[in-house]
Amino acid sequence: MKRAGFVWCICFLVGLCAAGCGEKAPSTIRVGVIAELTGDMPAVGESCKKAAQLAVKEMNDAGGVQVGDKRYKVELFIEDNAGKADQSASAAQKLITQQKVVAIIGPNATRYAIPASEIAEGSKVLLITPWSTNPKTTTDAKTGAPKKYVFRACFIDPFQGRVLARFAMDSLKAQKAAVLYDVASDYNKGIAEFFKTTFEQNGGKVVAFETYTTNDRDFSAQLTKIKKAEPDVVFLPNYYSEVPLQIQQARRLGIKALFLGSDSWGSQELIKLCGNDCEGYYFSTHYAPDTAAPAARRFIQAFKTAYGGMPDDVAALTYDSFGLFRQAVIEAGKIDRQAVRDALAKIQKYEGVTGDMQFREGSSDPVKSAVILKIKDGSFVYFANANP
């Protein structure tokens, strides 16, 4: 009797442990978003949020995502990083430990994506940044090796810097260039340096290489030096919220050079803030709505129907990030953080809104093309392709 009672007790305790301590089978696919909804670039965060909600709605309206022999609805958790690095990290921590997400989409800006990526990497949770182009986002700061759990949907700055430098020389016939950039931001600083290196390697001369610090509003000292250097083109690898003031101050000083920008110009807010002062200038970005492929046209129409406006590059890249995540979940065959990460790393080709993407072995940066857009009649208009 004692032995039977002992065995029954052990079985009971094992049952309790299995019920109380074991992992419950997931009923949904939980995915987090970290976006810049408030702070210095709310237009970026709003585009990201809208595209995320559209992507999840489409998946759920289709019955969910097929995982093995069962379909699962997607549950979305959105966190605002308020345009702050520390809140990006704490948002990632909250999504991972409290919301138990399978993966995180975002943040977008490099200075916010890097701290969030450190949390994701340390926690072994997949993070896909839609818009962070700086190599540091997906690279281990100590070893220089690729991070294993951090991916991106966009091209990287070494490619973008080379593309813009060659465009300035080949298409704009510039021989002298000036650069004004935010030295406190990894994105701005990195792409400025890549541009300078390529421009000079190809025989051009960078006659002014001027810096400022985040939240500065007076650029007259730097722009005065640029004016004296008489460049053919001025490169501003800065955010849409900063560029209009820089160009307007340059024009008041009498600078006649063409202005050239990077993908951080790509918000429609740039045109609202800059008006005619930005007319006729160029920037690199991730897709051109006016020459979109069928997949992109479907997305553009769905976005316009849902929100009444044209999606920018952040929206398109966020939508592609969810597409990559969906494909990884399907190929993983189970709702498991490690399995989904491993499946994403093996994706050979993804046909996205912003073009075809390919992940090469050992790299979490996709091989993809860029486009050059021109600001014409208050709109962003396709001008040229730029291939890897």
- State whether 118 and 195 are in the same domain: no
User: Which tokens in the block code for residue 387?
Assistant: 């291939």
138 with 169, same domain: the answer is no
pLDDT at residue 291 tops 90: no
Do 201 and 237 share a domain, yes or no? yes
The span from the CA of 33 to the CA of 117, in Å, is 13
Tens of pLDDT, residues 48-64: 999 999 999 999 999 99
Consecutive H or E run containing 34: strand 29-35
Determine the pLDDT at residue 11. Answer: 40
pLDDT above 70 for 9: no
Judge whether 382 lies within some domain: no
Look at residue 386 and tell me if it is in a domain: no
User: Residue 95's domain spans which residues?
Assistant: 27-155+293-369
Residue 239 and residue 181 share a domain: yes
What whole-number distance in Å separates Cα of residue 151 and Cα of residue 277? 36
In a domain, residue 273? The reply is yes
The β-bridge partners of 376 are 379
151 and 163 belong to one structural domain: no
At residue 191, does pLDDT exceed 50? Answer: yes
In 153-232, at which residue ranges do the beta strands (DSSP E only) sit? 176-182, 205-212
CA gyration radius, the chain? 23
253: tokens are: 């000083």
212 and 174 in a common domain: yes
For residues 307 and 215, membership in a common domain is answered with no
Structure tokens at 141: 């700061």
Contact 98, 70 (CB under 8 A): no
First to last CA, the chain: 77
pTM to 2 decimals?
Answer: 0.90
Residue 305: inside a domain: yes
N residues, the chain: 388
Instruction: Based on the fold, state whether residues 43 and 89 are members of the same structural domain.
Output: yes
Domain count, the chain: 2
Q: Can you tell me the mean pLDDT for 20-36? A: 81
- pLDDT at position 102: 98
- Backbone φ/ψ region at 131: left (φ over 0), alpha (ψ -120 to 50), beta: alpha
Q: Which two structure tokens, joined as six digits, stand for 107?
A: 């943040």
- Whole-angstrom distance, CA of residue 50 vs CA of residue 64: 19
Q: Residue range 189-205: average pLDDT?
A: 97
Instruction: Give residue-wise pLDDT tens across range 87-142.
Output: 999 999 999 999 999 999 999 999 999 999 999 999 999 999 999 999 999 999 99
What is the pLDDT, as a whole number, of residue 24?
Answer: 66
